[in-house]
A = this chain, B = another copy of it.
Amino acid sequence: MGRPVPGQRRRAVGEETPEDRELPFLDLDALEEQARDLLPGEVFDYYAGGAETETTLAEATAAWRSWRLRPRVLRGIGAVDLRTELLGTPVRTPIGVAPWAYQGMAHPDGELGTARGAAAAGALMTVSTSATHTPEEVAAATDGPRWFQLYRLHSARHTDDLARRAGDAGYRALVLTVDLPLLGRRRRDLRSDFALPADLRLANSPADGGAPELQPHAPAPWTFDDIARFGDLSRLPVVVKGVLRGDDAVRCVEAGAAAVWVSTHGGRQVDPAVASAHALPEVVAAVGEDAEVYADGGIRSGSDVLTALALGASAVFLGRPVVWGLATGGDAGVTGVLDGLAEELAHTMALCGLPEVRSVPRDTVVPAGVIRRT
């Protein structure tokens, strides 16, 4: 029997999840492979795939990793504080759950499992319009912090009603997804002729089962004016999700947005789009003084999170890792992913001499391969 290496932890946060993994750290690649084994092929592909040539998808993580960390030393850091507030909502971690659709396809618990898993991690959950449980059902499942994400999938009246219900159900912000005026061409789904399971509950469809209206060239696409309108309807601060340009961010904030969410929609819409990690500095420069800025897309490690924070994000959101967590381990799987990433973030911050997520200096990162001459 050996002796412990000084300073080495043999068990990391999240290690018990999911599937009783042996590894004492979060291994997202292995988790994805487990999910691939568990899920029907076309369902896995629906979640895993991107639009067109999947260039945006492929570059998302690589773009965060085009930055390098510049650690600080001798700061006497004894503990790292991951807590922050997002539009006034207190969270225990700056790593939230991005909205993703039809969670009942990934696991029988669907959005309820994700909500419980996120709450256990103290993480913000963004509940999708394309859900298999109603906003009220998800709200009843936990006390965790949550926002509601709004699409227009059916009539304007129906969409307005969803916005009102989100406010009534105690959601703390309304997230307007604006990068989906029509659906991206996802070749995997087109090849597999993917269809939603016939028995899948589309909880937020109209009671009369009215067909979705979202079609190429939607009849009444949203404009900047809808930001204030939905804020009034829901009585919630509005987050605009899917912004990749500084000028657009300015217009959103001028139109009443409380926050802007930099996103390529997981590489499922425009391809090849500028990566979130490359667009984020421009958006922060444009509106960072006036609004909160978040980012998602390809975040897969604690150092990816720290990079986003250094570039000015107040929070980041995870999509596919949470899908794989839910699919393989239900709510515990979700907690394992979120806690595992939070543990990586805290660890990396401690190594970088950074005590709190609310004040990560911009010069914590530098483009990879760049030679600084002061």
Contact = CB atoms under 8 A, between A and B. Distances in A.
Interface stretch (A31-39, A165-173, A268-276): A268-276
Interface stretch (A82-90, A242-250, A317-325): A242-250
B373 A278 contact: no
Number of copies: 4
A301 B179 contact: no
Nearest to A153: B6
A366 B4 CA distance: 45
A273 B7 CA distance: 20
Contact of A52 (B224, B303, B366, B371): B303
A270 B372 contact: no
A371 B189 CA distance: 32
A72 B222 contact: no
Q: Which of the listed residues A10, A185, A227, A240 has the most CB atoms from chain B within 10 Å of its own CB?
A: A185
A9 interface: yes
Given A23-B191, A219-B78, A303-B272, A73 B350 contact: no
Interface stretch (A63-71, A109-117, A131-139, A289-297): A63-71
Interface string A196-236: 11101010000000001011111111111011000000000
A286 B374 contact: yes
B70 A347 contact: no
Contact of A2 (B9, B198, B212): B198
A272 B215 contact: no
Nearest to A271: B303
A242 B352 CA distance: 11
Contacts of A198: 1-3
A243 B75 CA distance: 12
A282 interface: yes
A338 interface: no
Interface string A1-18: 111111111101000000
Contacts of A9: 183, 215-216
A28 to B, nearest CB: 11
A245 B70 contact: yes
B23 A190 contact: yes
Given A196-B3, A373-B282, A178 B73 contact: yes
A140 B303 CA distance: 44
A53 interface: yes
